[in-house]
Amino acid sequence: MSPEPHVPADDAGHEETPHTPGQAAAAAHGPLDPEDVGSTYLLEPDDLTHLLRQLVVTPGAREDLVRSPQTGAPLASVPVSTPEDVARAVAEARAAQRAWSRRTVADRARVLLALGDIVLAEQSDVLDLVQLENGKSRASAFEEVADLAQVTRHYGVRGASYLRDRRVPGMLPVLTSARVHRRPVGVVGVIAPWNYPLTLALSDALPALLAGNAVVLKPDPQTTLTALWAAEALLRAGLPRGVLRVVAGGGEVGAALVDAVDHVVFTGSTATGRKVAAQAAGRLVGATLELGGKNPLYVAADADVDAAALGAVRACFGNTGQLCMSIERLYVHTDVAEEFTAAFVARVRELRVGPGLDYTHDVGSLTTSAQLERVTEHVDDALSRGARVLVGGVHRTDLGPLFHEPTVLTDVPDDALCAREETFGPLVTLRVVQDDDEAVRHMNDTDYGLNASIWTTSARRGRELAARVEAGSVGINDGYASAWGSVAAPMGGFKQSGLGRRHGRESIEAMTESQTIVVQRLVGHGASLDELFKFPDGKGQALLTTGLRVLRSLRMP
């Protein structure tokens, strides 16, 4: 994996394996042997057959061996698509899209609502899969189930209003009528990362499908199985076969997808996002990009300190800190600094770190060795520059290969790596500020602007401070969950944190084309513009000038 965080890449926790599909199925499997974690598959190859059928791959394709982050044990062998497979997947999706787009919006919405029911009913199975592929805790995995329940309900119920034809004022009252229609762009390509393998596989695919598009999904190689589960669940929810296709692989496959679709949705690093944007721009197709963040949280002088400490722990260390919206910088007003720091550090110490497919742990494993290396590099760099560890700072090899304690650093200089770059792991810095102005200045001192959080007992004060913060979303007395979970509101970043928005009406509009249809009435009865312009010597223009003045005086839109 690239050293940049959450980039879909070719070596994210997996390796090439010589197994053919038949050999993979015949490989040793069964209960995990604690004496030799490399001796067996954690998932029965035969049990994955129905999922792997969802992949568009050439028979006999090369396979990648994916390992579980929690133990390092082999998880599954997954066939890899080629650029030619991508072209085939897009062609199949494009053919299926024509019939899908002719269905009523209500019919398409029923598929989304049925999917939401499936996700809630079968959450145990998909939670296991998410944890095995990603390494996160059960509680963090459940956030993905809850999110899909939210997204399917919102677009299933509200989506039709976003797509409804809209009447707008025409050029001339009575004579001109105008309507704006939303038309699907065709095939939407979704390139999803490994940090939220269920949520980010479907959060953009679902509004695209509701709008009448087909979707070709390329998950990260580390988390392909979760995406295949989602694709199979959509079929059971009633989505016609071919409307959503899945391809597997790394950067080469992603690049081929961007070259073939009519709109691309990418979630990943800013560096890779720039490349995706340039590639899409070269074809004059749209791109929705959610990229990196260095998200701040401010504890104001009037904050409820206990509530802020509790909220900050989840905001910083949920999903093992591997979240675009995760808080990585804490700014605390001097009046409450001592009290907050003590409460926050105490709560961080109480976090239960470890593996397991249950709710006994609060923080899970990092997902890739590259992310572990980045976290340790940022910690070591800060300490070498004079920073102090308030809690954590240890790579927990006793728990598994990629576990790292939730870590809080203070006295971090401005030139430290973790002060400027996104860590994307369980590491946060804490700094005391003298007033609101200093807090806002530090919060905005970054190239990123995805998410921010402000803690205060005054909603009015919180809104006033939020208006000064350069971020696409600002949570008052919340870290990130309320902003993300408010699906009706757009979600995206300022500055280098992205382009476009997901969620709400904005997501639907990004993946549709607006078409304006105008009707000119009374043509042939002397009341059209063409008839008006036939008057000689500028008389028609004079009449039009009078009419325009009347419209202005009446403040007609």
Instruction: Answer yes or no: are the C-beta atoms of 290 and 492 closer than 8 Å.
Output: yes
The whole-angstrom separation of Cα 166 and Cα 164 is 6
Tokens of 286: 């749209």
The whole-angstrom separation of Cα 267 and Cα 269 is 7
The whole-angstrom separation of Cα 13 and Cα 193 is 13
How would you label 479-503 residue by residue, b for 16+ Cβ within 10 Å and e otherwise?
bbbebbbbbeebbbbbbbbbbbbbb
Instruction: Answer yes or no: are the C-beta atoms of 366 and 69 closer than 8 Å.
Output: yes
The whole-angstrom separation of Cα 257 and Cα 505 is 25
- CA–CA distances in Å: residue 473 to residues 268, 463, 467, 482: 18, 12, 10, 10
The whole-angstrom separation of Cα 453 and Cα 327 is 8
Pairing of strands 512-520, 176-184: antiparallel
Tokens of 284: 């004059």
The whole-angstrom separation of Cα 319 and Cα 367 is 10
Return the bridge partners of 177, or none: 169, 519
The whole-angstrom separation of Cα 230 and Cα 221 is 15
Closest CA to 261 of 235, 229, 283, 239: 283
Closest CA to 206 of 156, 252, 162, 168: 156
Name the residue type at position 440: V
Write the DSSP symbol of residue 41.
B
Tokens of 50: 């129905």
Return the bridge partners of 180, or none: 166, 516
Instruction: Answer yes or no: are the C-beta atoms of 312 and 330 closer than 8 Å.
Output: yes
CB atoms within 10 A of CB 148: 26
The whole-angstrom separation of Cα 470 and Cα 277 is 22
Angle 19-22-27 (CA atoms, 0-180°, nearest 5)?
A: 60
The whole-angstrom separation of Cα 537 and Cα 533 is 10
482: helix, strand or coil: helix
The whole-angstrom separation of Cα 295 and Cα 322 is 12
Active site residues: 290, 324
Closest CA to 247 of 277, 272, 268, 221: 221
Q: Where are the beta strands (DSSP E) in 196-278?
A: 214-218, 244-246, 263-267
Write the DSSP symbol of residue 222.
G
Name the residue type at position 304: D
